[in-house]
Structure 1
Amino acid sequence: MPTPPPKDRKLARLHHVLALVMGLGCALQQWSTGKAALYLPVPCAADAQAYLSESDSLSCCYSLAYDYNPAGGLATAIEVQLLTPEATYSAIQYPLNSGWAYQSFEQGRRLRWQHTGGLPAGAQPLFDFCLETPQTGLPTEMAVNWLVGGETRCSDTLRLACYQCLAPQNESLVCLADGGYAYTFGLANLTDFTIHRLHLSEPTGQDFIIEELLNLPGPWLPGDSIGGFSLTLRPEAEELETLCFEITASRLLGDSSALDCCTFTRCLELPLCDRCCTPFEEFEADVNGGFTVSANCETGFLTAVYERWGACDRVFWNLRNLDTGTGIGGIVN
C-alpha cells in the first residue's frame, strides 16, 4: 500500500543537519586559517583511547581505563565530564601512583587528572565510579577530554546505560508500511520484588501508543528477564524526534490490592521512515482520474498519458475493448 510522503518536520530536520554541517565546515576553515580564535575539539585517534568496564551494572558502577601513546601527540591531563543534566558521580576511587594531581569542577561533574611528567603511556587504570542519574530511559553521556596545558586536544563521548527499575533488552524499532512504528523489546526486573503487573502510560495530552498494558506470563521474579513485549506507535508519532512513555511495575499484596514498585521512563529516538509515495487516498483518486489516450492510425500506436502520479507510484493497467477477447496490460512505474 502506498504510504505518506515525508513530513515537513523531517525535511526541516534534514535541512538543519545540512546547515549544521556547512556551518561546522566554515568554522573549521576559519580556525585553521587563523581568522577566528575558535577551538573545536576533534575525536581522538588510536593513540588516545578510553575504555569502560562494568563493575556492577545493577548499581551503575564502572571502571575507566585509558591507552595512550605519546608518539601520536602530547597530552598532559585527562578529564571526564558528565554531559547528561542532573547526573552525578558517586563512590569515586582512583588508586593512582605518585605524581598525579586531581581536581574537581562544576560541583563534581567534571574531574581532571594530570601528571607532572605528562600522562603515563600505555594501558593505565584511571578511576572507579558509580553514577546517580535521572531515569530518562536514555543512556548517560560522559565526555573524555585529553588536554595539553589548559586546552582540549581531542574529546570522545561515552554512553552508559543506567537503570534502577527495569532494564530494556533486545530492542527493535521499525517503520510500518502503512505508517507508524513497531517497537519490540524485553525487560529485566532490577527490583527486589516479584512483579505481577505492568502498566504503560504517556504524558498528559499524548496518545501515540495503542497498547496500555503489557501482559506477563506469570509472577516475575527479581533479576529475571522476559522478552517478546510489543508496542504499536500510531502514524502521528512520525512527527516526533523522540517519544517518551512510562512503565509502572506493580506487585499484588495478600489482600489482592496492587502496590506500585517503581516507574521506568523510556524515551525512543524515532528513525526517519521512507515515505516516498503519495498518500493512498490521493493516489487512488489520481488513478481514477484516468489517462489521456491518443491513437495514430497510420503507425498503429496508442499513447496513454498520465501526469498525476508521484516519482515512486506504480499503476497496473489493462487496455480493454480492442477486439472481442483481446486485452493488453502491463505495469507503469
Structure 2
Amino acid sequence: MADSTRVNLPFLSTNLPGIGGVLRTTDDDFIVDEEPAYPASGAGDHVFVRIEKRGLNTAQAVQAIAKALRIRERDIGIAGMKDRHAVTRQWISLPPPSTPEAALALSLDDIRILEATRHGHKLRTGHVRANRFILRVRSVSEHARERAAAILECLARPPGAPNWYGEQRFGKYGDNAEKGRALLRGEQRSDRRMDRFFISALQSELFNAWLVARMTDGLYARVLDGDVLHKVGGGMFTCEDAAVDEPRLLAGELVVTGPMFGTKMRAPTGAAAEREQAILAAAGLTREDFAKVAQIAEGTRRDASIAVRESAIQTLDDNSLEISFALPAGAYATAVMREVMKSE
C-alpha cells in the first residue's frame, strides 16, 4: 500500500516534457531558506535563533543544540521540519534562561548560528510564511531550460501545483502509513510523538489518494457543490453554488481543500462528501476509526493546490540547471520538481 502512494501520482503538466536529470547529488544542491511568519520582537524571555544546518534533519540539529546548552529538547520551539540531505536555514526558539550570547557562542559540527534575538514566546509549529528553495539539477536533457520554464509557467497558473505529500512523509521504507493503520487497529503503540507521526503519514496517504482521484476524474480545476473551499489569505467555507465559486478558483482567489481525516475535520457535503467517503471505503476505513487517535490527530483540511511563486532558472553549465522558487508552509519542493523533471 505504501509503495503505491509513493508512485503513480499523475502529472498536471502531462503534455509538457520534463528536464530529466538528478536532484540532490550533494547537500549543496538543495538549499532551503525558511521565512518566518513574524519577526522576533527583540524583547522577552525566549530567544529566537536562526540556524544553518547541513547533513542533519531538524530533530538532529535540535538534539545537538539542546545537549550543548544543557536544555531539554522539548523546550526548543521549531516552526517546521527540514530535510537532512540539504543545506537549510530555519528558526528555532530557546527557552529561558537562554541568552542570545550563549546561542551565538555555540560551535557545533554541521550547524552554524546565523542570528539570535529575544522574543516573548516559544516558536510554534506552523509559524512559517514560506520556504524558499534553490535547487540544482544535474545531467539534464537538451532544451532543459525552455522545458523547465514552460512547466513552471503551467504550475503558476491558478489553481497552481498539486499539493502532494512527498515521499519523505512516508519514511525510508515507505511504511509509515501502514504503521498508522496499525495504530487505528490498536495493534501498535510507541511514544506519543511517533504515534502522531505515523497517523499523520496515514492521513497524508489518504489525502494523496483523494487528490489522485480528483485529477483522474478531471476535477482538479473544478469546484463541486459541497466542497470545502479556502479563501487565499482568509478562512474556509462550504460551496453552495459551484457556478459562482469555480471562476474564483481559476482567478486564484480560493482553492479547494482535501481531507486530513479525523473526528474534528470539517466535512464537505453532497457529492464532495461522497468522494471523500469513497476514499475511506477503498482503504477499509471509516471516519469513526480516527476517534481512537483523536487526542493526537484531530483532523483538518489541506489545500489541494499551491502557488509556486518567484520562480527563476539559471543555467550552470551544459548539463546543469539551478531552479529557485518559493512555496507556502507545508508544501514539498520535491513535488514541484517531480513535475519539472518527470524522471520516473
> Could you tell me the TM-score, scaled by structure 1's length?
0.23
Higher relative contact order at CA 8 Å, sep ≥6: structure 1 or structure 2?
Answer: 2
> Could you tell me the TM-score, scaled by structure 2's length?
0.22
Higher strand share: 1
